[in-house]
Structure 1
Amino acid sequence: MPQKKIALLFFFLNTFFLNFTFAQKINEVDKIVAKYPKSFDTTEKLAEKIEKDFDSDSDRARAIYSWIGYNIKYDYNAYLNPPKTQGFSYSSEAEKQRKIKQLNDNLIQKAFNSKKAVCEGFTALYQHLASLMGIKCEVIRGDSKISLRDIGRKTLSSNHAWNMVFFDKKWRLIDVTWGQGYYDTSKGRMVNDFNPIYFDTDPDYFFAKHFPDSGTFLGNKLSKDDFLNGPLIYNKTIEEDYKIKSPNSGIIEAKKGGKIEFEIKNISKSDQVFYLNKKNQAVKIQNPKEKRGGLEFEILNDNNVGEYITIFVGTSSVVSFKIISK
C-alpha cells in the first residue's frame, strides 16, 4: 500500500466523523427509498408514501432511516458554531409544554426543509416521522466515542443524540446521524455516504460508541468505566462482526520491549492485517495464529510504537488502543 495512502488513513482516525462506508449492506427497502424524491411538500406526505409502500413497522422504520440518511446532510457549520440556546418564559405548565413543542416542531421543519441538521434535528425528525406511522420512538441523549483522544478520557459529556425504536416486539437502537455520511478532511466538507450499520445495531457494538445520559438501557445499568476505558471501534468492525476479545481494555499498559497480545474474532490469516507505527508506516502482523474462529497475534512494544495502536484489515481501520509504556 502506498505510504501516502497509509498516512492519509491515519489522519482520518483523528477526525470528528469516523463513518466511512466500506461494505454497505443495502437491502430492498433502501433500494426503493433511494428512488424517492429528495423533497416532499410535508412530513405527512413522506409518511403516507412510506406507509403505502411498506407493510411492517420494521420496514417502515428502515425506510425512515434510509430517506433521512440519503437526503439530510450533517450541518458541520452549525456544529462548529452552535446557535444560542433559546429561552422562553411561561406562566403555567401547559404553556411551557406548548412552547417546548413549538421549538421541537421548528427543529423538525428546519431539518426537513433545509436538508441540513445536527444530531438533534436528525433524531427529532426521525421520531416525528415514526410517530406519524404509529411507531413508538424515543430520542436518547448522551455521550459518543469517535476519536483516539476519547480512549481513557475521565468524564462523560452529553454531546450526541440517537433514537430507540420499537418494532418486532423489541426496542432497537438507531443512529441516523452516523448513518448519513462523514466529514471528508481532504475536501473540508461533509459527504453524504449512506451507511446502514447504525440501524438496529447490536447493543454490544452500539454501547461501545454511545453512552446514554441516564446510564441505563431498558433498565439495565451500563458501565461508565467500560465505555470510557474501552477501545475505539470503527464501522468495519460492526459491518464484519469483528469481536475484540483481547485486550479487553482500550488502555494497554506494556513494558518497552514487551509483547502485546491481541485476539480478534472473524478474522483469518488470509486477511491483510497490519498496524501503523508512530511514523505512519504500515507494519504487517507477523506469525498470526488462527484459533477459535479468529486470529491471535502479538505486537512488539518497541520504540516505533506510538501513543496509540490501530489495527487495520485491508484498508479499513478496525480497532484502536491507547498505549502506556512502563
Structure 2
Amino acid sequence: MTFPFLFLDYPWDKSNQKSIQIDLAKFKELDAYAQKVNVRNSVKNLVSVLLQKAPSDLEKVRAIWMWICHHIEYDVEGCYNLDKVSFKPADVLQSGKAICGGYARLFQEMCSIAGIQCQYLIGSCSVKGKSDHAWNAVRIDGRWHLLDCTWGSGSVNTAFSKFTFRYDEFYFLTHPALFIKKHFPEDPKWQLLKQTVTLEHQHDLT
C-alpha cells in the first residue's frame, strides 16, 4: 500500500532527505570543532563552549547534535539493567553513556540552555506498537524538525552486546515522510505530517 499524500504534503527527492534546505558542506568547520570539544564538568559549560562557533539557531542545533553523536555511546549494559540507568543530563554527560531516553534528555537540556525550543518525544520504532524509543523535535526558524541522536551516533551489533560509533547523517532533521517509517510518536501531532498516519499504515511504509 502506498501513501502519496506523504510526498505531496512534504515533497522530497533522494538528493535531499531533510525537512529544511541545508548545505552540509557549510557545516564542515563547525562539525570538526564540535567533535573536538571536550567539556564534561557541566552541561551548561559544554553548551557555552559549543556555541562559540554557532551563532544561528540552526548552527546551535547542529553543534549540539554533532557533539552528542560523537561523545555519547549507547549503554548496552544499561539497556539490560534499566534500574541502574540515569536519564539525567548531568549523569549522561559524566558517564558518556546513555540509552535513548538519556540521549534525548541531554539534547533537550542542551537546546534549552542554548535558547532553542525542543521537545522530548517517546513512541515506537517497531511494528509491535509499544513505546520503546525516545527522540526529539526541535524548532528552527518557526518550524519543528525531527532528529534522533541515538540512531545518529552509531549502532549495536546483532547480538546486542556491543555499540560502535558510526555517525549517521540521515537522522538529523530527517524529512517527516521518511522519519515516520521508523518513528511512531505517542502523540500523532509530532509526526509533523498534515495527514497523520495510523500505526497500521506505518507498518505498510516500512
TM-score band, normalised by shorter chain: 0.7 to 0.9
The equivalent of 1:43 in structure 2 is: 43
The equivalent of 1:177 in structure 2 is: 150
Pairs aligned (count) = 179
Partner of 1:228, secondary structure, is helix
Equivalents in 1 of 2:193, 2:148: separation in Å?
20
Partner of 2:146, secondary structure, is strand
The equivalent of 2:12 in structure 1 is: none
The equivalent of 2:199 in structure 1 is: 224
Aligned pairs for 1:137-286 within 5 A: 137-145=118-126, 150=127, 155-185=128-158, 188-217=161-190, 218=192, 220=194, 221-231=196-206
Give the superposition deviation at 1:78.
1.3
Given that residues 74 and 118 in structure 1 are in contact (C-alpha distance below 8 angstroms), is that contact kept between their aligned partners in structure 2? yes
Tell me the C-alpha RMSD between the 2 structures.
Answer: 2.3
CA deviation string 1:257-292 (max 9, x = no partner): xxxxxxxxxxxxxxxxxxxxxxxxxxxxxxxxxxxx
Partner of 1:216, secondary structure, is helix
Equivalents in 1 of 2:160, 2:114: separation in Å?
38
The equivalent of 1:70 in structure 2 is: 70
Partner of 1:83, secondary structure, is helix
Identity %: 29
Equivalents in 2 of 1:159, 1:185: separation in Å?
18
- Equivalent of 1:111 in 92, 103, 126: 92
Given that residues 172 and 201 in structure 1 are in contact (C-alpha distance below 8 angstroms), is that contact kept between their aligned partners in structure 2? yes
Give the superposition deviation at 1:113.
0.4
Equivalents in 1 of 2:198, 2:111: separation in Å?
30
Give the superposition deviation at 1:49.
1.0
Q: Which amino acid aligns with 1:83?
A: D
Give the superposition deviation at 1:108.
1.3
Give the structure-1-normalised TM-score: 0.51
The structure with more radius of gyration: 1
Unaligned runs of 5+ in 2: 1-23
Which protein is richer in helix relative to its size? 2
Which protein is richer in strand relative to its size? 1
Give the superposition deviation at 1:80.
2.1
Given that residues 69 and 194 in structure 1 are in contact (C-alpha distance below 8 angstroms), is that contact kept between their aligned partners in structure 2? yes
Partner of 1:58, secondary structure, is helix
The equivalent of 1:266 in structure 2 is: none
Give the superposition deviation at 1:52.
1.5
Q: Taking structure 1 as reference, are residues 176 and 187 closer, same or farther at Cα in structure 2, changes over 3 Å only?
A: closer
Q: Taking structure 1 as reference, are residues 186 and 204 closer, same or farther at Cα in structure 2, changes over 3 Å only?
A: same
Given that residues 108 and 124 in structure 1 are in contact (C-alpha distance below 8 angstroms), is that contact kept between their aligned partners in structure 2? yes
Partner of 2:137, secondary structure, is strand
The equivalent of 1:30 in structure 2 is: 31
